[in-house]
Amino acid sequence: MNKRIAVLGAAGHTGRFVVAELERRGLTPIPCGRGTDLDAALRDADAVINVAGPFHTTAAPAIEAAIRAKIPYLDVTAEVEVVGDTVAAFGAAGIPIVPAAAFYGGLGDLLATAATSPFAAVDELTIAYALSSWHPTSGTRRTGKVSAARRDGNRLAFVGHRLRPRVGEAPRAEWDFPAPIGRRAVVGEFVTADSAVIPTHIGTPVIHSFMTANAVADLRDPDAPEPVAVDESGRSAQTFLVEVVARSGDQERRVTASGRDIYAITAPLVAEATVRILAGEGATTGVAGLGARFDPLDFLAALGPDALTVTESR
């Protein structure tokens, strides 16, 4: 049966990838622009995907409309605070709610779930990002400003089982990524939505987060251009590698995913989750991320090698 998926923010950079991915899978997107009557748009929809940031203003109204329509809600927010707001306000809602089903949030959550699966207890998690470059979209810049304002300009770090504010410059270090990337300069305490989603179902006192210094410099450069398409799909030439390291006592487990274009990879992540939930898998009501809803390695394998390459090591 053909399923109809409302897509809020369908005309945006990531929204266009999501619409194309849904169509590729035989689903029917219902594009919804700003100012759309949500109740009317969701009346004939089977699920809703929110790609319209800043999510500080769009997430709650869209979730409330999805609750009234009794359909699953998914979003791709990278706003750490919005994930916390969603858990606090809608944790017991009667529909499946999946925040941050995207590169930031969902992918790290899946990798962390896979990395920690053999352990009864997790002493420490580390998430390290290597981006060849980062040409932020205008949406990324807008949402970043909103998040920074909500934190009064402070940074965040996940220590002592919760997110805590940090002042001053972020720490600098080096990280040994798998070949061919190797040892790279990184910026520490680069907290993303991963550090808000993962603790909802994995108990760990510390989540370290690192981003390659070149990507942070790109993000901070006001003159950095937006992503430039280099193929017919619209993907840019940017490459990424995400490594998650879980430690339990003297045991360590690593799971790594690599691919191309952090915005484009969001589309198969959120589309795969939508298809599975509509089929009844991972369709538990309330708020839960990708790692809590699905077998992580099965989910990632379903995206195919053209989307992601996943490796495991001890």
pLDDT per residue as tens digits for the range 10-54: 999 999 999 999 999 999 999 998 878 999 999 999 999 999 999
Each residue's pLDDT tens digit, 104-136: 999 999 999 999 999 999 999 999 999 999 999
- pLDDT number for residue 33: 85
Task: Give the mean pLDDT of the chain.
Answer: 96
**Least confident stretch, 80-84, 141-145, 173-177, 245-249:** 141-145
- Beta strand 183-188 with 239-248: parallel, antiparallel or unpaired? unpaired
- pLDDT number for residue 190: 96
Average of per-residue pLDDT across 152-176: 94
Torsion sign over Cα 289, 217, 268, 22: positive
Domains 4-103+265-303 and 104-260 share a fold: no
- pLDDT number for residue 187: 98
- pLDDT number for residue 313: 80
**Domain spans, the chain:** 4-103+265-303, 104-260
CA atoms of 199 and 109, how far apart (whole Å): 9
- Closest to 139 measured CA to CA, from 262, 273, 308, 35: 262
**Percent of the chain topping pLDDT 70:** 99
With 0-12 / 13-18 / 19 or more C-beta atoms within 10 angstroms meaning exposed / middle / buried, residue 102 is buried
To 5 degrees, how large is the angle CA 83–CA 60–CA 9? 90
With 0-12 / 13-18 / 19 or more C-beta atoms within 10 angstroms meaning exposed / middle / buried, residue 159 is middle
With 0-12 / 13-18 / 19 or more C-beta atoms within 10 angstroms meaning exposed / middle / buried, residue 205 is middle
- pLDDT number for residue 312: 86
Each residue's pLDDT tens digit, 198-253: 999 999 999 999 999 999 999 999 999 999 999 999 999 999 999 999 999 999 99
Domain covering 104-260 in this structure, CATH number: 3.30.360.10
H or E stretch at 155: strand 155-159
- pLDDT number for residue 1: 56
Architecture in CATH of 4-103+265-303:
3-Layer(aba) Sandwich (3.40)
pTM over 0.85: yes
Each residue's pLDDT tens digit, 50-77: 999 999 999 999 999 999 999 999 999 9
| Other residues' Cβ atoms within 10 Å of the Cβ of residue 298 | 12
